[in-house]
Structure 1
Amino acid sequence: MRLPRQREAEVTPLHADAVRALIDAAAPRFRALYLLAASSGLRQGELFGLEVDCVDFLRREVTVRQQLIAPDDGEPYLGEPKTHESYRTVPLTKAVVDALAAHLEQFPADGVKIEDRTDPRKLHHRTARLLFLNQRREVGRRGAWSQVWGRSRRIANKALAATYDKAHAAWVRNGRTEGREPARVEVPDGASLHGMRHFYASLLIKHRENVKTVQKRLGHAKPSITLDTYTHLWPDEEDTTRAAVEAVLGDVPPLCPAKSA
């Protein structure tokens, strides 16, 4: 007998204030990375695999054609995106494009030697002008990145706590009469850069984008993956079924009571 599939925990996107706090808390070298992650939904490997020519500054879009793969027991390399649908182009806002331009001015992408496995038939080493490198201008590794993220999270939560304390104190001084009690916002334990991807998806859903659009932007292999992950975030629509039936069959006369024999 097949056991029932275990239900996965529902995704809880980061609060917008938490995302802003993380961007503010990021080291200058990674501030544009955080903003891009929250504004495009790219996966972590896709972000670190971006080269300068992946960004079209005039059309304001970013193209995903590869990802950085960093195995625990080997050297990082450039590989194919996760799925066929992960090859995609994502539109960007002016603020993101400006941030990327400023990033390149401060941290020029001079190039780094790396193995390219994007074509399994033509493995080779080349110089890649990657947008985001570590402080030593090297390709980052997973362990080191977790420390970078952890530092950003701690700074962000400290700033969020200070903001809450200030707002709560003002609310108390005003006799708890002006608006609702301020809510605590934080970057939760276990949150990672992938949380920016969930945040981006939640923005699209909140602004009434359909499943196909969200799937396309995120690079999911199938719409069912998008629905399985985010269906609880789509707002409930007003029940229009009654009106739909009324529009088609509303003029049908009521049945007359049967006449007695």
Structure 2
Amino acid sequence: MGPAGVVRRPVVVDRQLLTRLGRVTEFGPLKTRASYRTIPLPVTVVDALNEHLATRDIADDDLVFTLEGRPITRQAFGHVWRPVAKIAGLNAATGPGMHALRHYYASLLIRYGESVKTVQTRLGHASAVETLDTYSHLWPDSDDRTRDAIDSVLGRSREGSEVHPAG
């Protein structure tokens, strides 16, 4: 956060909330080196966070979102998420949840043309292979683009008419 609790762009991911059986919920290190990352926040998110912060007294080192003053664990998130997802018509019992929101973010990045490397970095994957293994089916088919590229050089368009390459 910036001065007076104002959210700035980007956000730095440098720790995770650890919930372990029989232990106090606390912050701990991320899983891998690649998990440490900086994510540019969209203006919409920055505006919403700043609106949220303006109505609360939150110090720079406090959590921005809590449930009854406690950190929101995956389990606690599920108890809040499932009723909301049901109202929205989502099948919350079998899928949507915190991890589904992560997949939704990745699918939006892919839909709007982000590269494998960018998606890998934003999600904190250790390698592009991990990203491709999970999301390759979402990248658009490039058959038409590759055909058009070769046809433009060799002189034919997709419709079969002559193309005169520049140059």
TM-score per shorter chain, which class?
Answer: 0.7 to 0.9
**TM-score of the superposition, structure 2-length normalised?**
0.77
Secondary structure of the residue aligned to 2:88 is: helix
- Alignment partner, residue 227 of structure 1: 132
Are positions 1:70 and 2:19 aligned together? yes
Q: Which string of whole-angstrom CA distances, capped at 9 and with x for unpartnered residues, describes residues 30-53 of structure 1?
A: xxxxxxxxxxxxxxxxxxxxxx46
- Alignment partner, residue 133 of structure 1: 66
- Alignment partner, residue 240 of structure 1: 146
Tell me, in whole angstroms, the C-alpha distance in 2 between the residues paired with 1:209 and 1:109. Answer: 34
Q: Which runs of 5+ in 1 are unaligned?
A: 1-51, 112-127, 158-185, 249-261
The letter of the residue matching 2:56 is F
* Counterpart contact for 1:67–1:79, Cα < 8 Å: yes
- Tell me how far 1:213 sits from its aligned partner: 0.8
The letter of the residue matching 1:198 is H
Percent of aligned pairs with the same residue?
41
Give 2:75's match in structure 1, choosing from 121, 143, 153: 143
- Alignment partner, residue 216 of structure 1: 121
Rg: which structure is higher?
Answer: 1
After superposition, where does 1:97-136 map in structure 2 within 5 Å? 97-110=46-59, 128-134=61-67, 136=68
- Alignment partner, residue 57 of structure 1: 7
Q: Which runs of 5+ in 2 are unaligned?
A: 155-167
* Counterpart contact for 1:88–1:219, Cα < 8 Å: yes
- Tell me how far 1:143 sits from its aligned partner: 3.2
1:67/1:241 CA distance change after superposition, 3 Å = same
The letter of the residue matching 2:15 is Q
* Counterpart contact for 1:56–1:62, Cα < 8 Å: no
> Which structure has the higher relative contact order (CA within 8 Å, separation 6+)?
1
Equivalent residue pairs, number: 150
**TM-score of the superposition, structure 1-length normalised?**
0.51
1:142/1:242 CA distance change after superposition, 3 Å = closer
Tell me, in whole angstroms, the C-alpha distance in 2 between the residues paired with 1:57 and 1:150. Answer: 28
* Counterpart contact for 1:72–1:142, Cα < 8 Å: no
The letter of the residue matching 1:103 is H
RMSD: 2.5
Tell me, in whole angstroms, the C-alpha distance in 1 between the residues paired with 2:145 and 2:26. Answer: 51
The letter of the residue matching 1:57 is V
